[in-house]
Amino acid sequence: MNKENIKTLGDLKKSGYESKSVKEELRDNLIDKLKKKEDVFPGIYGYEDTVVPNLERAILSKHNINLLGLRGQAKTKIARLLTNLLDEYIPIVAGSEVNDDPLQPLSIYSRDLIKEMGDDTPIAWVHRSDRYVEKLATPDVSIADLIGDVDPIKAANLKLSYADERVIHFGLIPRANRGIFVINELPDLQARIQVALFNILQEGDIQIRGFQFRFPLDVQFIFTANPEDYTNRGSIITPLKDRIQSQIMTHYPKSVELAKEITAQESKLSKVQSESIKVPEIIKDLLEQISIEARKSEYVDEKSGVSARLSISAFETMMSAAERRMLLNEEKNTTLRLSDLMSVVPAIIGKIEMVYEGEQEGAVNVSYALIRSAIRSQALQYFPELKDLKKGEGKNIEAYQKVINWFGENRLDLFNDLADKAYQSKLESIDGMEGLIDKKFPNLPKDGKFLMMEYLLHSLAEYSHLSKKQLEKSYQFGDLLSSFFTTEN
């Protein structure tokens, strides 16, 4: 259908256009995509066998949907992607506030216009991106905001009686007619406002200020909710929940690999950061491990959840830390280090809700503890000998012991903003360190070798073979035993 040639109601009728509800539209376009084996929800990772099939079943069933899950589980992103299943353009009566279907007009404005002009009624075309309306549920949201109210200014300007339907100012839901309407954080909506949604969901119609007119809206509703909100801030009242036909549970990525894909997609990096800073896989793994550790930490509120935004913000902060170091040292390129990972505390603090014990411990201390836990959790993948080192068992015992013995007489201050050459020189000064890494990882590039040397230092400290002190500008590594007898900072 060539919309450029369809400018009036008469043109639309001649084109053979048939009206279709928004749910039928979503269903038909989903069927088409499934037949063509197209990706229905591009950019959504980890939901291929869980959330996405449930969504597709709900759409095929023409259901209203509630996406239930903890923070940072892509609920809003999924809702916004549903616009891809709408037709690219639909015709409306030109000037209609509620996207009136020219063949089935709802509003008195469109009915009167068609009665007056007939087939000459002008037609406008609405793109699918303009058929999406989103509202964050807050306690101050009113029925007038969502559904509408009588507008006294309109009544005065048009010299109309309050009994005239034309004095109505439509709210967000009627304006979303023939489109998708999303209410985020549904439990935050006051109970009396939730009641107002009953008829819309069940019968598809609305009533405004005593106007007894049937207004059969055509809307695909998507709601999002956090399970925490059911007890902490509010609840979805039972009759409303009963009218939402499909409730779909979301979840966090089930593997580090999926989490890395999400972080890579969502992170906003500058061109300089992307081109000048090398990001080893081990750093990516450690970053995602921080979120995993937070989700099972005794200090973090499990019911609140730990958003995927933690990893995204932390990655951006880590890249900026490397860029700052690069600028300070007038270097053109660099590679991420463990010290850059330690800089992500500001990105962690705002993303975790702590239980009482966590609050007593302090947000900063909990954040550093999560980073240390991530280092420890990943360490055995690269240095499995650490778990048996104290028993004197396993391979390369002598090589590890040589490194540990060096710290019996030496101390290493690894400053956060060291230039690459100085950083490498510091690590090379540790007796036996370079040989150990070369033997275990013979194919590592030069920058990867030094990163692994630094990682070994932190791992030895986490497994209580070395002492580690966090200072303002550096990490100080030393002999574990001697650290028990000194108060030096």
CATH number at residue 272: 1.10.8
311-321 per-position pLDDT tens digit: 999 999 999 99
pLDDT band at 486 (very low <50, low <70, confident <90, very high): low
Model confidence, pTM: 0.84
359, 397: one domain: no
Q: For residues 477 and 479, what is the distance between their CA atoms, to the nearest angstrom?
A: 7
467, 361: one domain: no
Count of domains in the chain? 3
Per the structure, the complete domain to which residue 278 belongs is given by: 253-382
pLDDT band at 256 (very low <50, low <70, confident <90, very high): very high
User: Does residue 161 register a pLDDT over 90?
Assistant: no
12-24 per-position pLDDT tens digit: 999 999 999 999 9
Going by C-beta distance under 8 Å and a sequence separation of 6 or more, which residues neighbour residue 188? 137, 138, 139, 229, 233, 234
**Max CA separation in the chain (angstroms):** 97
244, 308: one domain: no
Of 347, 382, 417, the one marking the end of a domain is 382
304, 451: one domain: no
70, 208: one domain: yes
392, 483: one domain: yes
Going by C-beta distance under 8 Å and a sequence separation of 6 or more, which residues neighbour residue 32? none
* Lowest-confidence region among 42-51, 382-391, 451-460: 382-391
* Lowest-confidence region among 203-217, 240-254, 471-485: 203-217
Please tell me the number of Cα atoms within 13 Å of 276 on its side-chain side. Answer: 19
290, 276: one domain: yes
Which CATH number does the domain housing residue 158 bear?
A: 3.40.50.300
Of 249, 269, 298, the one marking the end of a domain is 249
Of 348, 382, 416, the one marking the end of a domain is 382
CB 446 within 8 A of CB 437: no
Q: What is the mean pLDDT of the chain?
A: 89
User: Does residue 255 register a pLDDT over 80?
Assistant: yes
User: Does residue 204 register a pLDDT over 80?
Assistant: no
242, 321: one domain: no
Q: What is residue 239's predicted lDDT score, i.e. its pLDDT?
A: 87
pLDDT (mean) for 398-413? 92
Q: What is residue 489's predicted lDDT score, i.e. its pLDDT?
A: 42
401, 368: one domain: no
Highest mean pLDDT among 226-240, 361-375, 392-406: 361-375
463, 362: one domain: no
For residue 94, count other CB atoms closer than 10 A to its CB. 17
58, 183: one domain: yes
118-128 per-position pLDDT tens digit: 999 999 999 99
213, 328: one domain: no
User: Does residue 283 register a pLDDT over 90?
Assistant: yes
Going by C-beta distance under 8 Å and a sequence separation of 6 or more, which residues neighbour residue 105? 93, 96, 111, 114
Highest mean pLDDT among 78-82, 203-207, 352-356: 78-82
206-248 per-position pLDDT tens digit: 776 666 566 788 999 999 998 865 444 568 888 888 889 999 9
CB 282 within 8 A of CB 456: no
Q: What is residue 231's predicted lDDT score, i.e. its pLDDT?
A: 44
